Amino acid sequence: MKETIENFIQESEENLKDYFQAQDKIAFENSKKVLNAFKENNVNEACFNMTTGYGYNDLGRDTIEKVYAHIFKSEDALVRSQFISGTHALTTALFACLRPGDTMLSITGKPYDTLDEVIGIEENKSSLKAFGIQYEQIDLIENKFDQEKIKKILLTKKVKLIEIQRSKGYSTRKSILIEELEEIIAFIKNIDKDVIVMIDNCYCEFVSTKEPIEVGADLAVGSLIKNLGAGMVSNGAYIVGRKDLIQLCAERLNVPGEGREVGPSLGMNRQFLLGLYMAPTVVNSAIKTAQLTSYLLEKIGFEVEPKYFEKRADIVQTIIFHDQNKLIKYCQAIQSSSPIDANVKPIPWDMPGYQDQVIMAAGTFTQGSSIELSCDGPIKEPYIAYQQGSLTYEYGKLAIINAIKQLQETKAKDSQ
Ligand SMILES: *Cc1c(COP(=O)(O)O)cnc(C)c1O
């Protein structure tokens, strides 16, 4: 048994060689981009110094924001540990751009679950809706943008901001490739050049060699406990894009009139820089882990998305189990290969903001970090596991080997 699994893995890696190599090339290009941005913006040892209190004149913080702007080819950037999550940064950007009477439109269906109460899809007295901001939504049709509906709404109604969420979240759709993003932004801007296009870029950074601002987006937002923190950053998020909009975001996050000038870095500049420096390599490990998972789980009979040979937009791998017990077993196996809390057995649980129970494997150094190997799924048909991350390919591979063994043991038991 042991030997067959080892042979199986070896054969898989041989068949994945070309796909791994293609990903290595992307990591190389992105490393070049990062290194160049460090040099051009004169990242130096003084950047590791910190400010406290108001955080005036924080050289490191201001340099980091220039480095981000360089990498994203954007006019400006806001990179702060005062963002407590990706959702917080998305919320900041939405409240910064939208005013009472304005309309926000999502063209990738319902946004990420944590935005329900922000937008007012779920009742909340502090939502955008409570401030008189309208919300419209257009679903994807078979993973494609519904251009007809988008055009119709843009021609009949003044839309202030369009939100595009690239990664699939807890849905069954595919994630949005950078090429698809480019095409739809051109389509939108051709109808209304003034509409603000805001991208939820969570999980997509450094998966390809282009980022959203380069293909015409006005703002892009992401979390630092995902791709760009590379597991080195304890919290924070970023917003990149147009200078006037970044100014509005800074004033919304901090204080009108003080904007980006305040916000102490409290000793986090070094982690932010180190995380960014490692990010191309760590994202590469996460993608290889996803490709290996996709290949192996499909070979042993499960439905997967994306397939191992498909082009990826993000680091998320879904496995569709069609079986509650297998989903639970798989998540438990991933947890048992984690560096932290390996001996904890996750069970399905009621989570705030989710309709169904959710099982989560997350034996991570940073709470909720999902650039670290993590796997979770709502307990509902068709019982999908959403797996992402792995700081190294080797640790990812160890976890998948373990998970496959566990699944096969259950199978053997079932057939007895
Ligand atoms: C992770 C994520 C977010 C934000 O999540 P936080 O947990 O608040 O950081 C938003 N959108 C997508 C697609 C995500 O993957």
The pLDDT tens digits of the residues spanning 32-91 come to: 999 999 999 999 999 999 999 999 999 999 999 999 999 999 999 999 999 999 999 999
- From ligand 1's centre to the CA of 217, what distance in Å? 19
| Ligand 1 mean position, distance from CA 223 (Å) | 7
Return the percentage of the chain with pLDDT > 70, whole number.
98
C-alpha 235 – ligand 1 centre gap (Å) = 13
Look up the pTM and report it.
0.96
**Residue-averaged pLDDT of the chain:** 96
Identity of the residue numbered 302: F
Mutate to test the pocket of ligand 1, among 88, 200, 219 (most ligand atoms within 8 A of CB): 200
Residue 416 has pLDDT above 70, yes or no: no
Which of 110-114, 274-278, 390-394 has the weakest average pLDDT?
110-114
Higher pLDDT, 351 or 324: 324
6 or 369, higher pLDDT: 369
Q: Closest residue (by CA) to atom 4 of ligand 1?
A: 86
Distance 238 CA to ligand 1 centre (A): 12
Neighbour order of strands in the sheet with 374-378: 303-305, 316-320, 384-388, 374-378, 358-361
Nearest CA to ligand 1 atom 5: 86
For ligand 1, the distance from its centroid to the CA atom of residue 13, given in whole angstroms, is 31
Contacts of 362 (CB under 8 A, 6+ apart): 335, 338, 368, 369, 370, 372, 374, 375, 376
Q: Is the CB of 200 under 6 A from ligand 1?
A: yes
pLDDT at 1 over 60: no
Indicate the pLDDT class of residue 353, thresholds 50, 70 and 90. low
Residue 351: predicted pLDDT: 81
Q: Name the residue at shortest CA distance from atom 3 of ligand 1.
A: 86
Q: Give distance in angstroms: CA of 318 to centre of ligand 1.
A: 16
pLDDT at 23: 98
167 Cβ below 6 A of ligand 1? yes
Q: Report the nearest-CA residue for atom 12 of ligand 1.
A: 202
Buried b (16+ CB within 10 A) or exposed e, 305-328: bbebeeebbbbbbbbbbeeeebbb
Q: Given this model, what pLDDT does residue 24 score? A: 98
Would the CB of 169 count as within 6 Å of ligand 1? yes
Contact 230, 371 (CB under 8 A): yes
171, 109 Cβ separation under 8 angstroms: yes
pLDDT at position 415 over 70: no
Going by alpha carbons, the residue nearest to atom 15 of ligand 1 is: 202
* Distance (Å) from CA 218 to ligand 1 centroid: 19
pLDDT of residue 414: 67
Which tens digit of pLDDT belongs to each residue from 204-246?
999 999 999 999 999 999 999 999 999 999 999 999 999 999 9
Best probe residue, ligand 1, of 82, 84, 87, 358 (max atoms within 8 Å of C-beta) = 87
